[in-house]
A and B are shown apart, each in its own frame.
Chain A
Amino acid sequence: QVQLQESGPGPVKPSEALALTCIVSNYSITNGVYWGWIRQPPGKGLEWIGSVDRGGFSYYNPSLKSRVTLSIDTSRNQFSLRLTSVTAADTAVYYCASDQGPTSPFDYWGPGTLVTVSS
């Protein structure tokens, strides 16, 4: 079964960049699925950030597109999120997940990691 685990550096200061990595286990990241990021501010709902495929093709939430970069590292079987110019509104639990493409659901999820933006 596919397993995903988010990792990141911890608190981020306002105006800096947030960087997270998702390590994929028990499944090759090159096996043709998409890999995505979803976030959830404390006490609020889910928000899709974007998804990337094995070739590096990405599609993004239009509201975040200008600040988001997704990348994939097939040699390490992991994919990454970079969100620039963060504010307190970017404080959230960030989840990585897998899906089969733009029309497909997120079938496997990581446990999530809380990222706090604070000075």
Chain B
Amino acid sequence: QSALTQPASVSGSPGQSITISCTGTSTDIGSYNYVSWYQQHPGKAPKLIIYDVNNRPSGVSSRFSGSKSGNTASLTISGLQAEDEADYYCNSFVTNTKLFGGGTKVTVL
């Protein structure tokens, strides 16, 4: 399978909201509600921030939210903060495999 498609970069000013898209196909994102999102700061391991499309693990800020429409999942970061500057990856279940997106670099202006 091909990787899920994410924009290479998204930027925003502090306090703004940004949305990162993750586009798949009818056989992955379109078929299952098993989309997760990870935040990765430079030199660090990824951190789970959203699972099952729109659920946040304990301890993750409510400024992060997820959604899905058709074959596209989205991650929205509200009230953008300097600490949100990182790479973000989506992931989807696909028939006993797990497919990652190519990653999106978020820059806080």
Contacts and interface: CB of A to CB of B under 8 A. Distances in A.
Interface of A: 36, 38, 45-48, 51, 59-62, 95, 102-107, 109-112
B13 to A, nearest CB: 26
A103 B46 CA distance: 18
Interface-centre pick from A45, A95, A110 (highest chain B CB count, 10 A):
A45
Contacts of A62: 1, 97
Ordered nearest first, which 9 A-B pairs have the shortest CB separation? A105-B36, A109-B45, A105-B51, A48-B98, A45-B103, A46-B100, A103-B34, A103-B93, A45-B102
Interface residues on B, range: 20 to 34
A60 B94 CA distance: 12
Nearest to A112: B45
Contact of A102 (B48, B93, B100, B102): B93
